[in-house]
Structure 1
Amino acid sequence: MARIKDTYVTDLKARVPILDVVSTHVKLKRAGKSWKGLSPFSQEKTPSFYVHPEKNMFKCFSTDKGGDAIRFVQLMENLTFVEALETLGSRFNFPVQYEHGSAAEARQASSVRAELFEMHEVASNWFRQCFLAEDEGGAFIRDYWTKQRNFPLELAEEYEVGFAPPKGGLGALLRQKQYRKEALGKSGLFFSGGSERFRGRLMIPIRDTQGRIVAFTARQLELTPQDDPAREAKYVNSPETPIFRKGNLLFNMDKARLHVAEQKTFLLVEGQLDVMRCWQVGAKAAVAPQGTAFTEMQANLLARHQAEKIEVLLDGDRAGRDAALRILPVTLEAGLESSFLELPEGEDPDDLLSKDGLDALDSLRKIAKSAMEFAVNALLNDDANATPIKRQKALEQIFEIIFNCPSVAVQEAYLRKASILLDVSEGAAKQDFSTFRSRRIRRQAFTPVEEQSTENGSEKLTTVEFELLFFALHYEQIAHALADAINLEWIKGDSAASILLSRILNEIQAGIWEKDQLDSLLKGEEERNVASEIRAEEPRFPDPWHSANECLSELFSRFIRQRESELTDRLVNQDPNNLDQAKVLQSELTKLRSAKENPPTLTPPSDFYGHDQDHDQSENKNANRLEQSEKDEEEDDDVVFGFE
């Protein structure tokens, strides 16, 4: 397989501004020399996520994640290192470069994900050509779009709506383009037997937040063939694939996020055609789930794009009301306010907006129900004369809805509102909720959980090798001093930090270390992640030489303890008749104990404790002050990056 050029990663980082990468996911505001926003990795109300353009790095203080643009894409899209390179290379028109070989080798080296993105783009273009074709199928689908669905052709162009002919043809096209069998099998465009999944249907491309086509929704037509395994299904969606997780995406998010800034409100509707109707009449911030229940990931996606509220506009039937009720606890947990625009029985958003346009939406907003108003009405089924027992059962369901709300104050406000609407004592409601919460917490406490990760905790466990690697990457003089002082056999373990520290010190000892070429030394995901994390951190030691000496002392002491224990065990288990071997072991123990009294130390440059020390310490203090000011004191320059 072709190997990625060592220089490519460095060149890619130089070409890719991290602000451009991050701003597709996070709304950023200037804070001094840096930019800040809400963390894309956690739910938070106060921004703790920072981007430092001068370093081309990001740092998230709420999760302790950090790194460069490549690392950010890896984390956001759950990609491998190579997949992140391909994603950025494609977006910034700087394709991955390989050491040797032809285009065929390059394709073989590329990931399945990269091939799937390309394949979906090809498929979408082909469906679009079939929609526009001057043949019987093209005429039928355009007539269906304009007359039966009452949509203009301009809207089909905006969303690149297409048509899958009844006889298929996409499979032949993709095989002609020589896509790998593995990629074809994972694309979701074919059934397991190899037949095309989409035939005789209206095709709607599904895009991720960055606008890449990742899947399709297909609408049943009169032309849908009888031998289609999903013939009776009105809508057929792509199955989940390596590039499509339906619970992680919202249809139209790539467009809607650009129109949410002013009102900070998204409009949530049921389906893709409802979204398109909203777009047509001017409601640009409409989104829809991908044919599933509204998920926590989707709610967090809305919150990350600075939404403070969502308006829920679902079908005016019992199923629509039940779906809206299931949305409520998810939005509350994400810290989103919600209001509910209720349609008359039997109406859907497409019907209403196609008749009355944006005026219909404005009328619904005037009579919109708050979260608790909607929940209570739905739970009581609009029964004003509900019995006390029915009201109590409704209250218990309200407890379930508000239980995971992150704010106690908001939780109490909802409880107060619900008690008024249910006509129950607020004090009794609070007491019952307290009992409910205690019972739920006890149940959770006795629920077995798998080993917990410290990844999202406020405390991060590190090893002495990790700390020494931090010094080696941030302080060039200390790195060379460590290489002179450390015997590589002192470094234990198979962690990425240990392996990388050994490799860097070995390079320095051999006289071939070049810090700028660190990327070429990194092997595997873990090493790249550790290096990205360390480089994203600010130097945090007021006296780095003193702190480095403490780490060196711990490394040396640990080695002495382990070696002493090994030698002692060997002496105890030594053959009593082998006196020569016993003398050798005893001599080594003596030398070890002598070395223990004279541990290695790092000696700072002669001018470190003079003017230069003051300067270095001042630099560190200034860096710390800047970091703290970025966290605590927002410089409100009214400059916002992303989502304009």
Structure 2
Amino acid sequence: MPIPERFLDELMARTDIVDLVSESVRLTKKGSSYWGCCPFHSEKTPSFHVVPDRQIYKCFGCGKGGGAINFVMELENLSFWDAVSVLAKRAGMTMPESFGGSPDAQKRREKMLELNRRAALAFHRWLYAPEGAHGLDYLRRRGLSPGTLTRFGLGFAPDTWDALIQEMAKQGYDKRDLLDAGLAVSNKDGRIYDRFRNRVIFPIIDVRGGVIGFGGRVMDDSTPKYLNSPDTPVYNKSRNIFALNIAKKSKAGRVILTEGYMDTIALHQAGFDNAVASLGTSLTEEHAQLLSRYFKDAILSYDGDGAGIAAAQRAIPILEKAGLKVRVLRVTGAKDPDEFIKTHGRDAFARLLDKSENQVDYRLAQLQSKFDLTDDAQKVAFLQEAAQLIAARPSAVEREIYGGHAAQMAGITSESMAQEVSRALRHRLRKEKKQQERRDLAPAAQLQPKARSLRYDNIRSARAEEGVLRLLLLDPALLSRMDDLEGQEFSSPLLGRAFDALRGQAQQGLSPNLASLAQIFTGEEMDHLAQVASQPESAANGPRALTDYISIIRGEGLRRSQEQGDDLLLAMQKKYQKSKAYMEEKP
């Protein structure tokens, strides 16, 4: 049984979507609405629109949209029931569990988080027990203080097959629970044993403070060097970042990205509380979006070897696309930041951070290293690639400055390089113009839903149907002027279902809102309904507009009915004539 409409109505009344979204996205007010960079895809120019009076959001870049419930569902990768539970807790409301829905998924998540928390406590306790002496000695040799060990909850997994299984069994968890949480594995013979054994353990904590997974490191040269939790209902390595739960509170204003747990922890111990690391995977767009919610600037502090350089080259465009200003740290005189700090001190590393290299200069230097600039052919190839890189910069000032840097590298004049950059820029703009022209040549396609499964058969009617939905959301009192309009009269099944649902809310004395429709519509459908609701509509001339919209809907309906038989046509004509007379009588 679904969650009661009245509960959802009260929840939405207590949830301001601007406040909710502002917890994750930096919003700027423009007129009566708010704009920011979308948290669901990478972008530099804000296309994420929040409309307070309709309590919806819509991204005009990736197409995501909906109400507060959809926002939490998308942001946290939760089911409808789980997202409502999160919002209810935020609003100080108690979930109506007796009404069913899908509480099993939420209970499973809560059980898994509690199991992870208890496992983290067990690992930490073992670190100081006789069986953890080897691990404690390793961490001390790496220079970590007792305070750091406690702050990060570091632990140790004993060198046995079932230490954690046995420990958690005492606390009421069976092997299946540990398998679900990724704390145990099963071999081909069906034997179940601990995933982490004889490893230093790093708890992975999300931004809400929940233990969602673990990383385990060997203390010798055996492989794999790091072993991480698999993806589970509470953990996804592409959507979480190590130490962000601490770094998000930093006053530094910028984030330092390292290659691993130990580098991050060492920086925190030295006082750089803005260090983080990705979790056993290359930096992803999801990582970048997550970081952009808390920081404007990023400094890449990767190793200077081939793998580190390649990782930095991949990370730079991803971070830039998410709206972060990127710099690259070059550590000289040490293999990594930890060694540099131990050798030269914290203040020296702070100065190194302040002198970190602009990412464009870094990429130019890496590009230069690929060519022999004493050879004319290779020099030309270098300058052509550099021109492509520089032409992508958004401002003329940047293009002039970095063009001058490239010219100096190759020993040519700034004027010659400027001409090469201009040529690359013209080519880029021509390509973008052609793409835009192709889009402009199909204006009708711009009116269609992005999802092919939701495409309109009758655009004229569908546009009027959209208008009816907007007016109902803006002014529920207009329901009394809608004659006996029903969703089955709509040409678009989606819009018709949405109309019936919103009308049902209004007839129950509730406020029609899109947010609660997430219970009965798919994410794809909600994206389009948010697009519809975000379009301009004035309630000032609502009655007149409503008359026009209904006239169009029923007029187009008459045309459709001609293909379906005389009886249906006659019924439609009568309804249309009755509606027209009714509308004309309205003041």
> TM-score, normalising length from structure 2?
0.78
Is the alpha carbon distance of 1:383 and 1:472 closer, same or farther for their aligned partners in structure 2, counting shifts above 3 Å? closer
Show the counterpart of 1:275: 264
After TM superposition, give the deviation of residue 549 of structure 1 in Å.
1.2
What is the distance in 1 between the residues matched to 2:57 and 2:517? 23
Is the alpha carbon distance of 1:412 and 1:65 closer, same or farther for their aligned partners in structure 2, counting shifts above 3 Å? farther
1:75-112 Cα deviation digits (max 9, x unpaired): 322332112123345566755331268xxx98635365
Show the counterpart of 2:235: 244
Show the counterpart of 1:524: 520
After TM superposition, give the deviation of residue 346 of structure 1 in Å.
5.5
After TM superposition, give the deviation of residue 271 of structure 1 in Å.
1.4
SS of aligned partner of 1:350: helix
Show the counterpart of 2:478: 478
1:576-610 Cα deviation digits (max 9, x unpaired): xxxxxxxxx5xx7567556656653665998x7xx
**Equivalent residues of 1:7, 1:520 under 8 A apart:** no
Q: What are the equivalent positions in structure 2 for 1:498-537 lying under 5 Å apart?
A: 498-503=496-501, 505=503, 513-516=508-511, 523-526=519-522
What is the distance in 2 between the residues matched to 1:335 and 1:531? 27
Shifted more, 63-72 versus 290-299: the winner is 63-72
Show the counterpart of 2:294: 305
1:164 aligns with 2:157: yes
Q: 1:266 aligns with which of 251, 255, 267?
A: 255
Show the counterpart of 2:314: 326
Q: Which amino acid aligns with 2:104?
A: Q
Show the counterpart of 2:440: none
Show the counterpart of 2:146: 153
What is the distance in 2 between the residues matched to 1:139 and 1:436? 63
Q: 1:284 aligns with which of 263, 269, 273?
A: 273
Name structure 2 gaps, 5 residues minimum: 437-444
SS of aligned partner of 2:183: coil
What is the distance in 2 between the residues matched to 1:128 and 1:536? 50
SS of aligned partner of 1:344: coil
**Equivalent residues of 1:80, 1:525 under 8 A apart:** no
Q: Which amino acid aligns with 1:498?
A: G
Is the alpha carbon distance of 1:242 and 1:49 closer, same or farther for their aligned partners in structure 2, counting shifts above 3 Å? same
**Equivalent residues of 2:471, 2:539 under 8 A apart:** no
Alignment length (residue pairs): 557
What is the distance in 2 between the residues matched to 1:158 and 1:369? 31
1:129 aligns with 2:125: yes
SS of aligned partner of 1:297: helix
1:215-249 Cα deviation digits (max 9, x unpaired): 22211136x9xxxxxx5122122233344333333
**Equivalent residues of 1:339, 1:368 under 8 A apart:** yes
**Equivalent residues of 2:25, 2:38 under 8 A apart:** yes
Q: What are the equivalent positions in structure 2 for 1:406-445 lying under 5 Å apart?
A: 410=398, 413-424=401-412, 425-427=416-418, 429-430=420-421, 433=424, 437=428
Q: 2:247 aligns with which of 247, 256, 265?
A: 256
What is the distance in 2 between the residues matched to 1:503 and 1:366? 56
Is the alpha carbon distance of 1:564 and 1:378 closer, same or farther for their aligned partners in structure 2, counting shifts above 3 Å? closer
Show the counterpart of 2:442: none
Is the alpha carbon distance of 1:46 and 1:476 closer, same or farther for their aligned partners in structure 2, counting shifts above 3 Å? closer
**Equivalent residues of 1:48, 1:62 under 8 A apart:** yes
After TM superposition, give the deviation of residue 536 of structure 1 in Å.
7.5
After TM superposition, give the deviation of residue 383 of structure 1 in Å.
8.5
Q: Which amino acid aligns with 1:310?
A: A
1:407-453 Cα deviation digits (max 9, x unpaired): 676456544433333334314532663587489879999xxxxx999
**Equivalent residues of 2:487, 2:496 under 8 A apart:** no
**Equivalent residues of 1:269, 1:314 under 8 A apart:** yes
Q: What are the equivalent positions in structure 2 for 1:60-209 lying under 5 Å apart?
A: 60=58, 62=60, 67-89=66-88, 94=93, 96-99=95-98, 108=104, 110=106, 112-132=108-128, 135-146=129-140, 148-167=141-160, 168-172=162-166, 184-193=178-187, 194-209=192-207
After TM superposition, give the deviation of residue 150 of structure 1 in Å.
0.8
> TM-score, normalising length from structure 1?
0.72
What is the distance in 1 between the residues matched to 2:25 and 2:95? 26
Is the alpha carbon distance of 1:439 and 1:149 closer, same or farther for their aligned partners in structure 2, counting shifts above 3 Å? farther
SS of aligned partner of 1:215: strand
1:24 aligns with 2:12: no
After TM superposition, give the deviation of residue 517 of structure 1 in Å.
8.5
After TM superposition, give the deviation of residue 113 of structure 1 in Å.
4.3
What is the distance in 1 between the residues matched to 2:471 and 2:583? 14
**Equivalent residues of 1:3, 1:109 under 8 A apart:** no
**Equivalent residues of 2:51, 2:57 under 8 A apart:** yes
**Equivalent residues of 1:82, 1:111 under 8 A apart:** no
After TM superposition, give the deviation of residue 515 of structure 1 in Å.
1.8
**Equivalent residues of 2:125, 2:155 under 8 A apart:** yes
What is the distance in 2 between the residues matched to 1:31 and 1:59? 14
After TM superposition, give the deviation of residue 556 of structure 1 in Å.
0.9
1:22-69 Cα deviation digits (max 9, x unpaired): 3431235678998765443452445864474xx693545645765543
Is the alpha carbon distance of 1:75 and 1:38 closer, same or farther for their aligned partners in structure 2, counting shifts above 3 Å? same
What is the distance in 1 between the residues matched to 2:27 and 2:569? 60
1:391 aligns with 2:372: no
**Identity value in percent:** 24
**Equivalent residues of 2:259, 2:278 under 8 A apart:** yes
Q: Which amino acid aligns with 2:356?
A: A
After TM superposition, give the deviation of residue 361 of structure 1 in Å.
1.2
Is the alpha carbon distance of 1:475 and 1:106 closer, same or farther for their aligned partners in structure 2, counting shifts above 3 Å? closer
**Equivalent residues of 1:204, 1:218 under 8 A apart:** yes
SS of aligned partner of 1:191: strand
**Equivalent residues of 1:329, 1:404 under 8 A apart:** no
What is the distance in 1 between the residues matched to 2:51 and 2:464? 28
Is the alpha carbon distance of 1:492 and 1:397 closer, same or farther for their aligned partners in structure 2, counting shifts above 3 Å? same
Show the counterpart of 2:558: 560
Show the counterpart of 2:335: 347
After TM superposition, give the deviation of residue 528 of structure 1 in Å.
6.7
What is the distance in 1 between the residues matched to 2:157 and 2:7? 40
Aligned Cα RMSD in Å?
4.4
After TM superposition, give the deviation of residue 154 of structure 1 in Å.
0.9
SS of aligned partner of 1:99: helix
What is the distance in 1 between the residues matched to 2:131 and 2:142? 17
1:534-554 Cα deviation digits (max 9, x unpaired): 778885343011111122112
1:328-367 Cα deviation digits (max 9, x unpaired): 3334434433332212365111111234332121342465
The structure with the largest alpha-carbon Rg is 1
Shifted more, 278-287 versus 471-480: the winner is 471-480
Is the alpha carbon distance of 1:287 and 1:92 closer, same or farther for their aligned partners in structure 2, counting shifts above 3 Å? farther
Q: Which amino acid aligns with 1:515?
A: L
Is the alpha carbon distance of 1:315 and 1:51 closer, same or farther for their aligned partners in structure 2, counting shifts above 3 Å? same
SS of aligned partner of 2:248: helix
**Equivalent residues of 1:66, 1:537 under 8 A apart:** no
Shifted more, 422-431 versus 473-482: the winner is 422-431
Q: Which amino acid aligns with 2:25?
A: V
SS of aligned partner of 2:194: coil
Is the alpha carbon distance of 1:129 and 1:332 closer, same or farther for their aligned partners in structure 2, counting shifts above 3 Å? same
Show the counterpart of 1:213: 211
**Equivalent residues of 1:186, 1:241 under 8 A apart:** yes
What is the distance in 2 between the residues matched to 1:564 and 1:522? 35
Show the counterpart of 2:493: 494
Show the counterpart of 1:634: none
